[in-house]
Amino acid sequence: MKTGRIIRSLSGYYDIQIENSDIQRARARGEFRKSGQKPLVGDFVDFESENDEGLIWKIHDRVNALVRPPIANIDVAVIVTALKEPNFAPNLLDRQLVALEAAHVTPLIYFTKVDLLDSIELEQAKKVAEQYEKIGYRVMLFNPESPEVSWTDLKVYLKDQVSVFMGQTGAGKSTLLNHLSPALGLETGIVSKALSRGKHTTRQVTLIDVEGALIADTPGFSSYEVFDFPVEDLDDYFPELADIRNQCRFRGCLHLNEPGCAVKESVTVGDIAQSRYNSYKAFYELIKSQKPKYSTDNRNF
């Protein structure tokens, strides 16, 4: 029996890297399907394999996991966010941040397309970056005047960590990965200005070693899954709301119509960004209106 980390999943097969860096291939046992489990890229597993024919017998406990993209045991998720073409969408960024908070994954916001901004737009972008830094998020704003410095800073931050790159299709995720490691040879998509979105260019989830950092490339997307937690837990995943909710007059305040709400007061005086509060209210309505999802088929691999 061997132990290793899944670094690639494709068509029901899993490439597993063991301690000596050798990569071996195996399938998942049928018992996983019956129990509704599925191995994910990033999982540590016990397996048997010979001549690329083998079986995964056990999935180790996960530190965390994401559904979209499907990956486990992530140290940091880099949210590649365009400021233009496609235009910056705070609601989408906040969706991703909430999903990462709920999954206990540390986010890093990486703003791209800075070179497309005029001087007024650039100043606004800097204010947006400061807004998220104030909340406590790590933010990097790509510097087109010193691109090598921007890429080096990101490499240093990601070293010795498992990271996933995620973000809206067309935000420049594959282009950024190419600059981090040109040898990756990832395809880059051409953004359709008419639709303000890009074509899907990434075909599979793979962990790639880039100068000591394990980086996952994943399919881009322009929407995000609905949230899978009770609406009462939503403010847990907005750090700036969680920090002051104990100051609300009523325990269990939902920060909507209740009197004496410290969150609404903070929005009024500008301590909490209006855009973030708007996202909170939109997500509240989304969670309240979404129907329960029932799975009738566990044939996922």
Q: State the pLDDT at residue 194.
A: 39
CATH architecture of 2-59: Beta Barrel (2.40)
Among 9, 1, 14, which residue's Cα sits nearest to residue 52? 14
Binding residue numbers: 112-115, 167-175, 248, 253, 255, 261
Tell me the pTM.
0.83
The fourth-level CATH superfamily of domain 231-289 is: Probable gtpase engc; domain 3 (1.10.40.50)
| Mean pLDDT, each 10-residue run in order, the chain (301 residues) | 92 88 88 86 92 87 87 94 92 93 95 94 96 97 88 92 86 84 55 41 71 75 69 97 97 95 98 97 93 49 32
DSSP letter for each residue of 79-122: EEEESTTTTP-HHHHHHHHHHHHHTT-EEEEEEE-GGG--HHHH
Q: State the pLDDT at residue 205.
A: 77
Binding residue numbers for Zn(2+): 248, 253, 255, 261
Binding residue numbers for GTP: 112-115, 167-175
Among 155, 125, 152, which residue's Cα sits nearest to residue 141? 125
Task: Give the residue extent of every domain in the chain.
Answer: 2-59, 65-217, 231-289
Sorted by sequence, the CB contacts under 8 Å of residue 11 that are 6+ apart come out as: none
Structure tokens at 189: 């998509």
Domain boundaries 65-217, corresponding CATH code: 3.40.50.300
Alpha-carbon span 106 to 166, nearest angstrom: 13
For the chain, give the longest Cα–Cα distance.
67
Q: State the pLDDT at residue 148.
A: 87
Q: State the pLDDT at residue 224.
A: 60
